[in-house]
Amino acid sequence: MAEFESILKSEEMDFFCDAILSLKDREECYRFFEDICTINEIKSIVQRLEVARMLKMKQTYTDIASNTGASTATISRVNRCLNYGKDGYNIVLKKLIDK
C-alpha cells in the first residue's frame, strides 16, 4: 500500500500534527484545544465526530439531527467522508470502538 499523501501536507501542518501527537492525556488536550480553537470551532469538530459515530451505528439522519443539532448538510458531508473520504473518521472510530 502506498503512503498517504495529504493535500494539507506542509511543514506547518506537520508541526501541528506533532503538537497533537505530543499531548499525553485528556487534560492536555482540553488545555491545547481551548487555547488554539474557539469554543464554536471545537463544538463543530466534536459534533462531526459524534455524527460519524452515529452514522457508523446506522442511526437515521433524523435521529442524528435531533440528538446532535447537526444540519442535514453536515450529516451528509460526514457521511460522504465516511464512504468516500481519506478514511480519517474510520481510522479513529475503529480504534475507539476496539478500545
Q: Tell me, what's the pLDDT at 63?
A: 98
Q: For each of the chain's 99 residues, which pLDDT tens digit applies? A: 568 889 999 999 999 999 999 999 999 999 999 999 999 999 999 999 999 999 999 999 999 999 999 999 999 999 999 999 999 999 999 999 887
Whole-angstrom Cα distance, residue 74 to residue 30?
24
Grid cell 506537520 in the structure block, residue: 14
32 near 19, Cβ under 8 Å? Answer: yes
Q: 32 Cβ partners below 8 Å, 6+ apart?
A: 19, 20, 23
Q: Please give the model's pTM, rounded to 2 decimal places.
A: 0.90
pLDDT, position 3: 81
Q: What is the pLDDT of residue 1?
A: 55
Distance, in Å, from the CA atom of 88 to the CA atom of 80, rounded to the nearest integer, reads: 12
- Which cell numbers hold the place of 16? 501541528
